[in-house]
Amino acid sequence: MLTCTYIVERIDGDYALLRRTEEADPHAEPKTVARALLPPEIMEGTKLLYEYLQYTIAE
Protein backbone atom coordinates (compact mmCIF):
# COMPACT_ATOMS: atom_id res chain seq x y z
CA MET A 1 0.00 0.00 0.00
CA LEU A 2 1.28 3.47 -0.89
CA THR A 3 2.17 5.69 2.06
CA CYS A 4 3.51 9.21 1.57
CA THR A 5 3.42 12.69 3.06
CA TYR A 6 2.28 15.94 1.49
CA ILE A 7 2.36 19.61 2.39
CA VAL A 8 -0.70 21.74 1.57
CA GLU A 9 0.89 24.29 -0.72
CA ARG A 10 -2.22 26.28 -1.60
CA ILE A 11 -5.99 26.17 -1.14
CA ASP A 12 -7.95 27.23 -4.20
CA GLY A 13 -11.71 27.14 -3.64
CA ASP A 14 -12.89 23.53 -3.51
CA TYR A 15 -9.41 22.18 -4.25
CA ALA A 16 -6.05 22.02 -2.49
CA LEU A 17 -2.67 21.78 -4.16
CA LEU A 18 -0.42 19.28 -2.41
CA ARG A 19 3.33 18.90 -2.76
CA ARG A 20 4.86 15.54 -1.96
CA THR A 21 7.62 15.91 0.63
CA GLU A 22 9.70 13.08 -0.86
CA GLU A 23 9.60 14.60 -4.35
CA ALA A 24 13.05 14.64 -5.95
CA ASP A 25 12.15 17.20 -8.65
CA PRO A 26 11.61 20.68 -7.11
CA HIS A 27 9.82 21.80 -10.30
CA ALA A 28 7.22 19.01 -10.27
CA GLU A 29 3.60 20.07 -10.52
CA PRO A 30 1.62 19.92 -7.26
CA LYS A 31 -1.17 17.36 -6.96
CA THR A 32 -4.70 18.79 -7.08
CA VAL A 33 -7.10 17.15 -4.61
CA ALA A 34 -10.75 17.97 -3.87
CA ARG A 35 -11.07 19.44 -0.37
CA ALA A 36 -13.97 17.04 0.29
CA LEU A 37 -11.34 14.25 0.44
CA LEU A 38 -9.17 16.11 2.96
CA PRO A 39 -9.61 16.80 6.68
CA PRO A 40 -11.77 19.95 7.08
CA GLU A 41 -9.30 21.74 9.39
CA ILE A 42 -6.42 21.91 6.88
CA MET A 43 -4.66 25.20 6.16
CA GLU A 44 -1.78 26.13 3.89
CA GLY A 45 1.35 24.53 5.32
CA THR A 46 -0.48 21.59 6.94
CA LYS A 47 1.39 18.29 6.67
CA LEU A 48 -0.77 15.38 5.51
CA LEU A 49 -0.22 11.65 5.60
CA TYR A 50 -1.72 9.57 2.78
CA GLU A 51 -2.24 5.89 3.48
CA TYR A 52 -5.00 3.36 2.87
CA LEU A 53 -6.60 5.77 0.35
CA GLN A 54 -7.18 8.43 3.06
CA TYR A 55 -5.58 11.73 3.99
CA THR A 56 -4.98 12.50 7.68
CA ILE A 57 -3.11 15.31 9.38
CA ALA A 58 0.41 14.19 10.24
CA GLU A 59 1.60 14.91 13.75
CATH code where residue 46 lies: 2.40.50
Per-residue confidence (pLDDT) for residue 45, from 0 to 100? 96
Cα 27 to Cα 20, 23, 53: the distances in Å are 12, 9, 25
- Provide the whole-model pTM: 0.89
* The predicted structure's pLDDT at residue 26: 79
Total domain count for the chain? 1
Query: CA-CA distances (angstroms) from residue 24 to 6, 19, 20, 43?
Result: 13, 11, 9, 24
pLDDT of residue 29: 93
**Residue-number span of the structural domain to which 36 is assigned:** 3-57
Residue 34 to residue 15: CA distance in whole angstroms: 4
How confident is residue 1, by pLDDT bands cut at 50, 70 and 90? confident
| pLDDT per residue as tens digits for the range 6-58 | 999 999 999 999 999 988 887 899 999 999 999 999 999 999 999 999 999 99
